[in-house]
Amino acid sequence: MRLLPATVTLSLTVAIAYYVYIPLPDSIQEPWRLMMLDAGFRTTMHLASLKAWLGFDHYIKSIRQSSEGFDGMMQGLDRSESEGGVMLGVKVSDITFAGVPVRVYEPPAGGEGHLRRGLMYIHGGGWALGSTKKGSYDLINRMLSDELNTVVVSVEYRLYPEVHFPVPYLDCLAAAKHFLSPEILARYAIDPERIAVAGDSAGGNLAAAVAQEISTDDTMSVKFSVQVLIYPVLQALDFNTPSYLQNQNIPILYRPLMVRFWLQYFGADVSLLPQLLANNHSSLHHSNITPELRARVDWTVLLPSKHKKNYKPLVVEKGSQGAAKEVPGLLDVRASPLLAGPEVLAKTPRAYFLTCEHDVLRDDGLMYARRLQDSGVTVTIDHYEDGFHGCFSFITWPLEFDVGKRAVRGYLDWLQNNL
């Protein structure tokens, strides 16, 4: 009988280790910390799905609720750190721009008559999760405002399941136009020649799309000076790029999860996921996807050789007719900025890209950077060989990664020198 507790303990230990452990590339630093982070995220997803199956709530809403307590703890830690440092003078206001909720960060007053930088930040989260009012988003925006003497506006755009495309895009565009208006720039003493739009992941998608629209809108007297795209998601035609295949099992953004985020954003049936994973939605049978459009996402041409490796393109001759028809917005450049024509890209502002080697979205960013360069836009790429999706947000204990700290510092330094 004495062996029973030891046996049970051993069994539980093995089971937990089996659940937590996943093989990771050697170049990823702090692998066990990433495994623990991923295990927590997967557990939250599983419990949320179970609650939804039992009829208690939508699984996305359950995930939000589960993260509120942790976000609150992180917010408390972030504020306690800032109170002892130089971020005390940053003024934070929760208001609306053109009816869209935003949080405005104003740097400490000083230098009467001197104009300040401006930056609009759009958070990630698969168009379904996240808030710039919480956790590392809030901390980074406070740091940026203080260190770079910048007025930062973070956008609280509406999310799935409450809304679908194009609502999040339209929210961000409305807020951007309001931000760039002469009245607002004068109110916050912002230099109209030094304004950036930035975003990570799904927020990078929205930032790129908004930058395209603003840059081609002749009614706008003030436009963005730079665009900052942090591992952005930019296209939904090819889910078999080298980075999607190489990193399909790397946390925290698994390949099927990214496709699911796309389907949710488009308001499509998630049962189509296998069709999209197989590229059936973009087969040659779909005449509306012209050769010109395909060339804009052709990674065999747009990627450097070191990222193409030995992967082969997956082009389906005849896929599912229904898949493309049931995914509205598939070819809309407001959803997939990588599909925009060179005449649009040429008008967009100079760009900064942060990409990670161990990220399914790596190639989206690299392809867009190449297309911008080909269109005459000045581009800077900070590529982190040890980076993974989401690392930019993991800079405070207990989710503190060295690569995250380096990524944030690189972002701040680039803006210091280029905005």
| CATH numbers and ranges of domains, the chain | 67-418 (3.40.50.1820)
CA atoms within 13 Å, Cβ hemisphere of 337:
29
Q: Can you tell me the distance from the alpha carbon of 211 to that of 346, in angstroms, rounded to the nearest whole number?
A: 12
Helix (H) / strand (E) element for 258: namely helix 255-266
Helix (H) / strand (E) element for 206: namely helix 202-215
Nearest to 374 by CA among 312, 301, 291, 292: 301
Residue-wise pLDDT for 51-95, tens only, equals 778 887 887 888 887 766 555 444 444 443 444 334 568 999 999
Q: Is 219 exposed, middle or buried (0-12, 13-18, 19+ CB in 10 A)?
A: exposed
The residues assigned a catalytic role are 201, 359, 389
Give the global pTM: 0.93
Instruction: Enter the tokens of residue 268.
Output: 């499509």
Residue-wise pLDDT for 172-184, tens only, equals 999 999 999 999 9
Q: Can you tell me the distance from the alpha carbon of 171 to that of 127, in angstroms, rounded to the nearest whole number?
A: 12
Question: Which pLDDT value is given to residue 227?
Answer: 98
Question: Which pLDDT value is given to residue 57?
Answer: 80
Q: Can you tell me the distance from the alpha carbon of 41 to that of 46, in angstroms, rounded to the nearest whole number?
A: 9
Q: Can you tell me the distance from the alpha carbon of 119 to that of 178, in angstroms, rounded to the nearest whole number?
A: 13
Residue-wise pLDDT for 210-239, tens only, equals 999 999 999 999 999 999 999 999 999 999
Instruction: Enter the tokens of residue 394.
Output: 């993991």
Please answer whether residues 210 and 168 qualify as being in contact, where contact means their C-beta atoms are separated by less than 8 angstroms. no
Instruction: Enter the tokens of residue 302.
Output: 């747009």
Q: Can you tell me the distance from the alpha carbon of 402 to that of 30, in angstroms, rounded to the nearest whole number?
A: 8
Would strands 150-155 and 100-106 be described as parallel, antiparallel, or unpaired?
antiparallel
Nearest to 354 by CA among 179, 148, 171, 140: 140
Question: Which pLDDT value is given to residue 3?
Answer: 53
Please answer whether residues 313 and 240 qualify as being in contact, where contact means their C-beta atoms are separated by less than 8 angstroms. yes
Q: Is 6 exposed, middle or buried (0-12, 13-18, 19+ CB in 10 A)?
A: exposed
Nearest to 411 by CA among 209, 143, 191: 143
Instruction: Enter the tokens of residue 337.
Output: 């900025």
| Regions of the chain short of the pLDDT cut 70 | 1-4, 6-18, 67-88, 110-113, 320-322, 324
